[in-house]
Amino acid sequence: MQIPWTSVKRKSDPTVSIVPNNPENSLSQLRIAVFNDGTNESGTFYINEVGYFTSASGYFEASLILYHPGLPEYDAEYDIVVKNDGVPINSGFTLRANDARVEIQGGKVTVPYSVREQGKDVIVTATSTSGQSSSVIIPSKKWDITFNDDFDGNDLDPTKWSVFEPELSYGSAPSYCARDCYEVSDGTLKLLAKKRETVLNGRTYQYTDGAISTENKFTQSLGCYVSAMRYEPWSGICGGFWLLPEFHGQRQSLFFDGPRSDLGCGEVDIIEWSNIFGDRYCVTEHFWNYNTNQHSDTNHVMASPQPGKMYDGQFHAIGVVITESNSYYYCDEELVGVFEHSYTTLNASGETMYPANNFMLFSYRMGPDNDSNWVGRWNFDDSDFPLKYEVDWCRAYK
């Protein structure tokens, strides 16, 4: 049985059709009440092909717990639940995909990047021992690279990077951002914190740290931003990978808190890590009231990739995919966080607010060696300097 999208009407207004555009940000499932007694429901109807819902066979149904686009160049993992009469079951059925390269173990489906890069949608079909079947479609996102730096030279590429806010210090920090805050060698970027006494604006500092960005050199809106990085085991200092919007005279927004909201996201922290966080790291979206320019809210999660990744001395890809309706955060192939948002919003006057383009930023900043430091007390001493936050490559995609 198939039902055209355009024939599905809103109960509150039968003249209005529900016409989804894609399964990521629109209606992707449909349940139909049996109105002659008002108590029963049919099986779930799913998007099966463009323009139609299709019914599962009877009450046996498979569904995708959460769709996500995955990181470019990495496999993507998904979880499928199979239900009989609405109750999850773990046996009495088989799962098969329409491509032999797709791996299925239990209810976990791994779609290799060799499939995803072709833009080929994966269809996983659950078949019961009695012959009932239900299929799930996992859309594949095909990416185009828009920015790439492998740091293969002996200096930063000046067409891509510059020191961010040089000679700037925050609050009670014991350091400031030095113009020579980095090193490019042996195929990697090293952001450096150094022990050295300098005087800046009449104040004596014992340390310098640093940040670089693509501001005024590379920007885009939406898409994927990802970098491979590794950390030394220090607390009291924080290594970050961020997105900030272009300034345009005042703080802009990358996206908004909802379709009618005064809050715009003015900073995306893809990762902030210090040894005090252990196996986890901070993922944060900061929202400002775009009328008052006051910091008002955050979306925040302590990302928890596989244990040991932050300590194993290997480079790991940390990234975000931003769509018009969601932000998906990753560590390698692992999805570690998801937030919803709106790409545009209506302000109080009914005008549509649009986001600005964003640029990428790496930072390695020290805090004071006291309990006010949100990334912990220092676990290093002067003999450990220079401290290093290392980046193997950085990429962006659309």
State the chain's mean pLDDT as an integer.
89
Residue 292 identity (one-letter amino acid): T
pLDDT at 46: 44
What value does the mean pLDDT take over residues 217-227? Answer: 99
What residue spans define the domains of the chain?
2-138, 145-397
pLDDT tens sequence across 290-315: 999 999 999 999 999 999 999 899 99
CB 204 within 8 A of CB 198: yes
CATH topology assigned to domain 145-397: Jelly Rolls (2.60.120)
Counting residues of the chain whose pLDDT is more than 70, the rounded percentage is: 85
Q: Is the pLDDT of residue 39 over 50?
A: no
Mean pLDDT calculated for residue range 92-96: 97
**Is beta strand 52-55 parallel, antiparallel or unpaired with respect to 40-49?**
antiparallel
Query: Is residue 24 scored above 70 in pLDDT?
Result: no
What whole-number distance in Å separates Cα of residue 41 and Cα of residue 27?
Answer: 18
pLDDT at 4 (0 to 100): 56
pLDDT tens-digit map of 170-221: 788 999 999 999 999 999 999 999 999 999 999 999 999 999 999 999 999 9
Number of residues assigned to the chain: 398
Q: How confident is the model at residue 20 (pLDDT cuts 50, 70, 90)?
A: very low
pTM of this prediction?
A: 0.85
pLDDT of residue 60: 92
Whether omega before 233 lies within 30 degrees of 0, making that bond cis, reads: no
| Confidence (pLDDT) at 378 | 98
Q: How far from chain centre, in Å, is Cα 324? A: 12
Q: CB of 370 within 8 A of CB of 283?
A: no
50: pLDDT strictly greater than 70? no
Strand pairing of 122-128 and 345-346?
unpaired
The predicted pLDDT at position 320 comes to 99
pLDDT tier for residue 49 given thresholds of 50, 70 and 90 = very low
Q: What is the pLDDT of residues 129-152, one digit of tens each?
A: 999 999 999 999 899 999 999 999
Does 333 have pLDDT greater than 70? Answer: yes
